[in-house]
Amino acid sequence: MLDAKLLRENPEAVKEAFRNRNQNIDVDAILAIDVERRKYITELELKKSAKNKLSEEIGKLKRDKKDAAELMAKVTAMNVEIAALETQAAEAGANFNEAMLVLPNIPDKSVPKGKDEKDNPEIKKSGEVPVFSFKPRPHWELGETLGMMDFERAVKISESRFVILKKYGAMLSRALINFMANTAVGRGYTEFYPPFLVKGKSMTASGQLPKFAEQAYKCAEDDLYLIPTSEVPLTNMHRDETIDEAALPFKYTGYSACFRREAGTYGKDMKGMIRVHQFDKVELFKFTAPENSFNELESMLLDAEEILKLLKLPYRVIQLCTGDMGFASAKTYDIEVCMPGLNCYKEISSCSNCTDFQARRANIKFKRKGGKGAEFVHTLNGSALAVGRTLAAVMENYQTDTGDVVVPEALRPYMNGMEKITRG
RNA sequence: GGAGAGAUGGCCGAGCGGCUGAAGGCAACCGCCUGCUAAGCGGUUGUACUCCAAAAGGGUACCGAGGGUUCAAAUCCCUCUCUCUCCGCCA
């Protein structure tokens, strides 16, 4: 959520930010709602103040055993007006809140302006793209012939966009999770295993609701949502809390399954496990003081890159331009891994600084030593990494001419020392 | 699932219809005092919203949440949530 004060005091900057995001948002309309809302609040409070004074006088009269009937009648009459104003104020307040909750974060000054993903500049490239003497196969072919994946039965049991991992596929996935989580812990992150079902309030705090409701799986009976990322429970770890400055930053990592409805993506990435309704992810998350958040974003990116480096997977880092950034983010780097079988790079991690956008929704503050009052923290999240896509990338990059898959050295300790996955 | 107990400020804890944003204590901060430390003395210390160009200063709301009774609710009534204890069931 944006600071309402920023909207009021610097509407032009906000308008420009939304323009840069390609968002057609009527800021003036929201400002008008705000004016109306405050008008009702002022009127209401004036009335209430007058009423409170009268009530006090009644108290005094009663104590002195004097007649207070006249004043009591007056207050009774005031209560009717107050009730009416209260309804109006609440309505205006709800309107304002509704409007504010769907406004995206303001892009940081360092974010390049652009329309869509075509305007995302490449920041760096790393690793050797493997050269094959044969036409590299996509991971789903390898997965099926090696008995690592079963797509048909996944459809039977669930529906399309689900995958069953089998034998060494399942094992490799588990190995990747352990490897990623251990690496994150080794780099100073505290490990969490969060709930996969969260309240609507938690989804609102991290920014998934109300705007992206159609992307989330909901258990309607319980007002519980399947998390689309462990960013959601991790953000909410400190909801409604005030943290001591000295304790910051918090660096958290959490493994979770992630569930996404992928509404509106029909026809995109239909094969394989690039875009599925359920996937695993090891997430990095930080709570920081505002002045440190952009540095912490850089180091989080390095933490995510480290996984790819250790796996010896070629990748590139791009920065998302203003038009391509996510709702809550002020600055985002995407890591794209090379997928030889698909002959392209695929997003495998996204590291974002959400500044105080989520903290404001989630009411997460910190107190400076000796400072007065509390300020909102900054929150950052990044994948390290999306497990399914990493699995696919490993298979495609490490395939051999015989259709086997070599196990990356970094994963062998997690695969009982296995060096190669072969048929049978 | 059954039976009880509870939810008050950073913490402990009083209050059970008006003068209570909330006694008292602890903690923290600022002064004074003091060879140092400790003790002692005095003062300060919640959040959100809102009015004011801003500061100063007003105002409104907040004692788990929501509703109700009343001129007036932390205090009375109803509903809900959460926590704890015991029994049952269960990975």
Measure, in angstroms, how far nucleotide B43 C1' is from residue A373 CA.
20
Element (H, E) at A346: strand A344-353
The per-residue pLDDT for A167 is 95
Amino acid type, A350: S
To which H or E segment does residue A54 belong? helix A27-63
Active site residues of A: 260, 275, 347, 350, 389
Task: Say how many CA atoms lie within 13 Å of A86 toward its Cβ.
Answer: 8
Positive/negative CA dihedral, A105, A111, A114, A119: negative
pTM listed for this prediction: 0.92
Where on strand B do bases come within 7 A of a protein Cβ? 18-19, 29, 46-51, 58-61, 71-72
Phi, psi of A279, deg, nearest 5: -145, 165
Query: Looking at domain A4-101, does it have CATH number 3.60.15.10?
Result: no
Confidence of residue A170 (pLDDT cuts 50, 70, 90): very high
Residues close to nucleic acid strand B (C-beta < 7 A): A 4, 38, 41-42, 44-46, 48-49, 51-56, 58-59, 62-63, 68, 72, 75-76, 79, 370, 373-374
Residue range A226-256, pLDDT digits in tens: 999 999 999 998 888 888 888 889 999 999 9
Q: Is the pLDDT of residue A109 over 90?
A: yes
The pLDDT of A343-353, averaged and rounded, is: 96
Q: Which nucleotide is nearest to A73 (CA to C1')?
A: B71
Output the average pLDDT for chain A: 93
- Domain borders along chain A are 4-101, 117-421
The gap between A370 CA and B35 C1' (Å) is 29
Q: What value of ipTM does the predicted structure carry? A: 0.84
* pLDDT value for A222: 74
Chain position carrying tokens 């699995």 = A391
Q: Do domains A4-101 and A117-421 have the same CATH topology?
A: no
A164-168, A265-269, A283-287, A378-382: least confident range: A265-269
Q: Say which nucleotide is closest to residue A39, CA to C1' distance.
A: B50
Say if residue A249 is preceded by a cis peptide, omega within 30 of 0.
Answer: yes
More confident residue, A35 or A265: A35
For A117-421, CATH gives 3.30.930.10
Rounded to 5 degrees, φ, ψ at A60 are -65, -50
Kindly state the average pLDDT of the residues A137-162. Answer: 94
Q: Dihedral, CA atoms, A18, A19, A25, A31, nearest 10 degrees?
A: 70
> How many CA atoms are closer than 13 Å to the CA of A84, on its beta-carbon side?
7
Model pLDDT, residue A69: 86
